[in-house]
Amino acid sequence: MTEPLVYIVDDDDDLREAVLDTLEDAGLPATGFCSANLALPQLNPEWPGVVVSDIRMPGMGGMEFLRAAQDQYPEVPFVMITGHGDVQTAISAMKAGAFDFLEKPTRPEYLVDVVRRALEMRRLQIENSNLKNIVAGGGALKTRLIGRSKVMRALRKEILAVAPLKVDILLLGETGTGKELAAQCIHDLSPGAETQFQTLNCGTLTEDKWLTEIEARLGGADGGVLFLDELEALPEPLQLRLLALIEVRGIDGPRIIASLQTDPSQLIADGRLRADLFYRINVAQISLPPLTERENDLFVLLEFFIRDAVARHRLKLPEITQEMLKPLRAHTWPGNVRELRNVAEKMVIGLPLSLSAGTSDAKAPFGTEDSYDDAMARFEKAMLRYALMQAGGRKGIAAESLGIPRKRLYLRLKALGLD
């Protein structure tokens, strides 16, 4: 028997059977429950399905059911069915974590569309969770340092070679190439993977912080890895003190992995890096390639970041056209993989990219100080205002142009304070 992908929870027998028939006709296996008390024990964090629940039910109501499920299984999507013109309850359900809501009576095609979108989001969540479990367990290196290019295959081979050895390592690479991720991979693939991985940005270290941030950690006897990011940013007097501490570090002291963004010979010539410190740490040297040297990895990474953002933000996959990809091919990517991740976030959220060949990404119109939630809310407000303006203030026409039910437009306007 096929595992049901949809649980229909409604005390109205006729409505529950009608919804089940609609979903079965659409090829979506579903099962029904007459109460939330019966449905709640059937949920589990690995179930790949979605719950469609009425809000008003005897006993445990839909809102109580949603909150109970959110406490135990927060990733399971809920689609709430509302009637009686209960706008405020529907808004509360969305704020409580519901994926969407349906108003009685619901058009069958709209019901199927909402459920399919919720199932796609759930599939991406599970896929993302599985990937994170692989990563957390120090699984296959290619699932962490993603890429099919020759340079990435060579990088993974180098990391696998040095990870088991208790030697200090110097990572070279431009900003955004993933130096901290590489250091974490080295730690996780080493025999001491259960020990602590600590990161320090040398640009933030001062004389006052030196004792607590460096001496205490280097003097410890619990092994692990101390990752010193942007070593060239450490003031020269502190570089000398670091060298002295490394020299007297015990056999059980932490392994040092340091990173540089610039060619070390140039840094030494400019007086920004002590030669003796460089030679002491540079037992093994690994270079992380910039994105422009990674052949077709750009689009492999873009797809991965888009799917990751979709799962995290609970949004649908954006439509990507060849026209949208053209400026990405010509871009020089000064921010490398980090910049590409931000581009994927903007694609999923719906923010303009404003990329042009040979330049860095232009500032987002909503300001870099905005959180993603704030940026999304401001973008949605702008979109709704534009739709209403184009429709001459007529909400029915605006809802039709946006492809959403009129009731949904009213709710979004109210939720955003635009009513």
The pLDDT of 57-63, averaged and rounded, is 90
Query: How does pLDDT run across 78-130, given as a tens digit for each residue?
Result: 998 887 666 677 778 888 888 888 888 888 999 999 999 999 888 888 776 66
Higher pLDDT, 383 or 154: 154
> What fold, for 142-289?
Rossmann fold (3.40.50)
Residue 347 and residue 372 in contact, taking contact as beta carbons nearer than 8 Å? no
**What are the percentages of helix, strand and coil residues in the chain, rounded to 5?**
50, 10, 35
Residue 132: the pLDDT is 54
Residue 170 host element (H or E): strand 169-172
Paired with 54 in beta bridges are 81
Peptide bond into 105 cis (omega under 30): yes
pLDDT for residue 219 is more than 70:
no
Residue 388: the pLDDT is 77
Residue 84: the pLDDT is 64
Query: How does pLDDT run across 168-215, given as a tens digit for each residue?
Result: 999 999 999 999 999 999 998 887 777 889 899 988 888 777 777 777
**What letter represents residue 69's amino acid?**
A
- The winner for highest mean pLDDT among 75-79, 209-213, 412-416 is 75-79
Q: How far apart (Å, rounded) are the C-alpha atoms in residues 266 and 72?
A: 55
Sequence ranges of the chain with CATH classification 3.40.50.2300: 6-135
**What letter represents residue 1's amino acid?**
M
Q: How far apart (Å, rounded) are the C-alpha atoms in residues 214 and 7?
A: 54
pLDDT for residue 360 is more than 90:
no
Q: Say which CATH class 6-135 falls into.
A: alpha beta
**Per-residue CA distances from 37 to 42, 67, 94, 102, 284 (Å):** 10, 13, 21, 21, 60
Residue 253 and residue 226 in contact, taking contact as beta carbons nearer than 8 Å? no
Higher pLDDT, 259 or 387: 259
Higher pLDDT, 72 or 231: 231
Residue 229: the pLDDT is 94
Output the DSSP codes for 212-279: IIIIHHHT-SS--EEEEESGGGS-HHHHHHHHHHHHT--TTSPEEEEEESS-HHHHHHTTSS-HHHHH
Mark 373-399 as b/e (b = at least 16 C-beta within 10 Å): eebbbbbbeeebeebbeebeeebeebb
> What fold, for 297-415?
Helicase, Ruva Protein; domain 3 (1.10.8)
Q: Which of 51-65, 79-93, 243-257, 330-344 has the lowest mean pLDDT?
A: 79-93
Higher pLDDT, 365 or 404: 404
pLDDT for residue 301 is more than 70:
yes
**Which residues, other chains included, contact 417 with Cβ-Cβ below 8 Å and sequence gap of 6+?**
none
Model pTM score: 0.55
Query: How does pLDDT run across 18-46, given as a tens digit for each residue?
Result: 999 999 889 999 999 999 999 999 988 77
Residue 31: the pLDDT is 93
Sequence ranges of the chain with CATH classification 1.10.8.60: 297-415
